Amino acid sequence: MTGELSPADDSSGHGRTPEFRASDRERDQVVEILQVAAGDGRLTAAELDERLDAALSARTTGDLARLTADLPSDGMPPQARDVIRIDHRFGDITRTDRWLVPRRMEIRLMFGEAKLDFTHAVITHHTLDIDVDLRIGGNLTLVTRPGIVVDTDDLERGSGDIKIRPASGPDTATLLRVQLTGRSRGGDIIARPPRRKLSEWLRRTPSSSAR
């Protein structure tokens, strides 16, 4: 019968470690390891898709272990926090470099700016819910990258501008969906790709001899 355990074929009765059934939490941890490895360039997009499918359908801990056997064994990636709260007035606050994206953020701003830079952020899940309360002079900037989609359809807007500039085309697979809710009563919301460095602009500018 499917699902029944069969006796192990071990004549000595020693030297074999039983493979335990995998839990949902163990599957989620392996998914996080794979996503971080892909973000570091250790796995291609095709390899990531293949291993994610295998991780979500894995039956035993041994099945999961084989999916990460060729990845650095530095331990499990840090667990993303459920909620990060930012209540800020008069001044700027920034999340940048390899910061760990939480599952939810609550942001309250007045006469200050919060910048969330996702360029090198560690993303271990598919959705980030941000509940905002932007008052006078409270501005939120999201620096995105290909695969990050920003949705403001459920945001209540009193005043202030909302400018969303996609970082990728419609055919790019979604890595993270940022869902903005709450209200803006005087602040601006901007989502944009990283600004190019001067050297990058110069490389893209044709020389006068080529014209």
* 8 or 183, greater pLDDT: 183
Domain boundary assignment for the chain: 24-67, 83-192
User: In sequence order, which residues have a C-beta less than 8 Å from that of residue 190 and are 6 or more positions away?
Assistant: 139, 140, 141, 142, 161, 163, 164, 165
Nearest-angstrom CA–CA distance, 107 and 92: 13
72 pLDDT more than 80: no
Picking from 87, 73, 83, the residue whose alpha carbon sits closest to that of residue 33 is 73
Task: Provide the percentage of residues in the chain whose pLDDT is more than 70.
Answer: 81
Would you say residue 211 has pLDDT above 60? no
Burial grade of 64 (CB within 10 A; 0-12, 13-18, 19 or more): buried
| Residue 203 in this model has a pLDDT that exceeds 80 | no
Which amino acid makes up residue 177?
R
Residue 10 has pLDDT above 80, yes or no: no
pLDDT digits (tens, 9 = 90+) for 130-169: 999 999 999 999 999 988 999 999 999 888 889 998 877 7
What pLDDT, on a 0 to 100 scale, did the predictor assign at position 79?
67
Question: What is the chain's mean pLDDT, rounded?
Answer: 81
Give yes or no for a contact between 196 and 167, defined as CB atoms under 8 angstroms apart: no
pTM reported for the whole predicted model: 0.60
- Can you point out the beta strands (E) in 79-208? 83-95, 104-117, 127-134, 138-143, 148-151, 155-159, 162-164, 176-185, 189-192
Residue bearing the bigger pLDDT, 61 or 167: 61
β-sheet bridge partners, residue 85: 106
> Is the per-residue pLDDT at 192 higher than 90?
yes
- Which of 3-7, 31-35, 128-132, 190-194 has the least mean pLDDT? 3-7
Whether the CB-CB separation of 83 and 105 falls below 8 Å is answered with yes
Q: What CA–CA distance (Å, rounded) separates 76 from 122? A: 13
Dump pLDDT digits (tens) for 13-40.
Answer: 444 445 788 888 788 878 878 887 887 7
